[in-house]
């Protein structure tokens, strides 16, 4: 059981190629991290996997437990167990957090089956307690007026409630404070499971101070150019991405 990306190519709508043959397999039970210089295509990869429509897939495949998902809509992929956090911390005016998550869970149930409200709130509150979230967040509109850290905490709450099979977390390049990072780490570490594969995308090494990935990959110019264990992240922090310029890899 894995999320398998094979020779994936994708372009912008104007034809500019961004992903130039990405190969990556994330088996259930493992946490993989992708690092790499700004502009290398990390966020594009996460968006193409989750089905955002501003990219054109021109080759390759993405399979979830053996099933091709590239033809499916964002919504189908999400209901099918793919979760993308952070790239679009979008606001949903007028819809409370509690109702938003409840609707998402309801959409995953077979027709005619209703969510039990008592059990739902019990589960919601216990996860909020785990993330040290104030109960007032249940009634607030999704992400409206939230700080960066609150949005992040909220996305982790959504992830913990939806219990996706494959989670992709794209840490945006905009700096997040250490408290927000710790919350993300707490959620991710709590979600680690033999039933789940996780992909962490990060420009900096610091998230990996709190989450120890099983594998680290470096993306550059639309490809995975290096893979290794967690020690690779430390090496990158020390030496940066200078190795990308070495002639041996050119």
Which residues contribute to the site for Mg ion (CB under 5 A)?
A: 38, 42-43, 173
- d(CA 91, CA 153) in angstroms, rounded, equals 14
| Least separation in angstroms between CB 39 and ligand ADP | 4
Which of 5, 10, 42, 50 binds ligand ADP (CB under 6 A)? It is 42
| Least separation in angstroms between CB 170 and Mg ion | 6
Please tell me whether residue 12 binds ligand ADP under the rule CB under 6 A: yes
| Least separation in angstroms between CB 174 and Mg ion | 10
Please tell me whether residue 38 binds ligand ADP under the rule CB under 6 A: yes
Q: How far, CA to CA in Å, does 90 sit from each of 39, 65, 98, 143, 154?
A: 22, 29, 16, 7, 11
Select the span of 39-47, 106-114, 134-142, 183-191 touching ligand ADP (CB under 6 A). 39-47
CB under 5 to 8 A by kind: which of ligand ADP, Mg ion, none does 44 bind? Answer: ligand ADP
Residue 249: CB atoms within 10 Å: 10
- d(CA 203, CA 153) in angstroms, rounded, equals 19
The interaxial angle of helices 117-130 and 178-191, nearest 10 deg, is 130
Q: Which residues, numbered 148-167, are part of the site for ligand ADP (CB under 6 A)? A: none
Residue closer to ligand ADP by CB (options 39, 194) is: 39
Please tell me whether residue 54 binds ligand ADP under the rule CB under 6 A: yes
Q: How far, CA to CA in Å, does 27 sit from each of 4, 69, 104, 212?
A: 8, 16, 25, 16
Residue 214: CB atoms within 10 Å: 15
| Least separation in angstroms between CB 163 and ligand ADP | 26
Residue closer to ligand ADP by CB (options 7, 189) is: 7
Please tell me whether residue 175 binds ligand ADP under the rule CB under 6 A: no
Please tell me whether residue 44 binds ligand ADP under the rule CB under 6 A: yes
- d(CA 24, CA 17) in angstroms, rounded, equals 18
Helices (H) and strands (E) in the chain, counts: 7, 12
Q: What residues line the site for ligand ADP (CB under 6 A)?
A: 12, 18, 36, 38-44, 54
């Amino acid at each position: 059981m894995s999320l398998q990306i094979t020779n994936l190519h994708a372009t912008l709508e104007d034809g500019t190629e961004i992903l130039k043959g990405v190969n990556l397999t994330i088996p259930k039970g493992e946490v993989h991290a992708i690092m790499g210089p700004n502009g290398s295509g990390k966020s594009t990869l996460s968006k193409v996997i989750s089905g955002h429509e501003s990219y054109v897939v021109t080759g390759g495949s993405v399979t979830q437990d053996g099933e091709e998902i590239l033809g499916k809509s964002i919504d189908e992929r999400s209901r099918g167990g793919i979760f993308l956090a952070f790239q679009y911390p979008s606001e949903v005016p007028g819809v409370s957090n509690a109702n938003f998550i409840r609707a998402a869970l309801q959409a995953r149930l077979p027709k005619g089956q209703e969510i039990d409200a008592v059990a739902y709130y019990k589960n919601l509150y216990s996860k909020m307690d785990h993330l040290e979230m104030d109960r007032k967040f249940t009634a607030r509109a999704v992400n409206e007026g939230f700080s960066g850290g609150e949005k992040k905490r909220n996305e982790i709450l959504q992830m913990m409630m939806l219990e996706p099979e494959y989670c992709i977390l794209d840490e945006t390049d905009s700096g997040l404070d250490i408290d927000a990072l710790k919350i993300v780490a707490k959620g991710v570490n709590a979600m680690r499971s033999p039933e789940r594969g996780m992909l962490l995308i990060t420009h900096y090494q610091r998230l990996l101070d709190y989450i120890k990935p099983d594998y680290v990959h470096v993306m550059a110019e639309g490809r995975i150019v290096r893979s290794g264990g967690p020690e690779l992240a430390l090496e990158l922090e020390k030496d940066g991405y200078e190795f990308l310029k070495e002639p041996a890899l050119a």
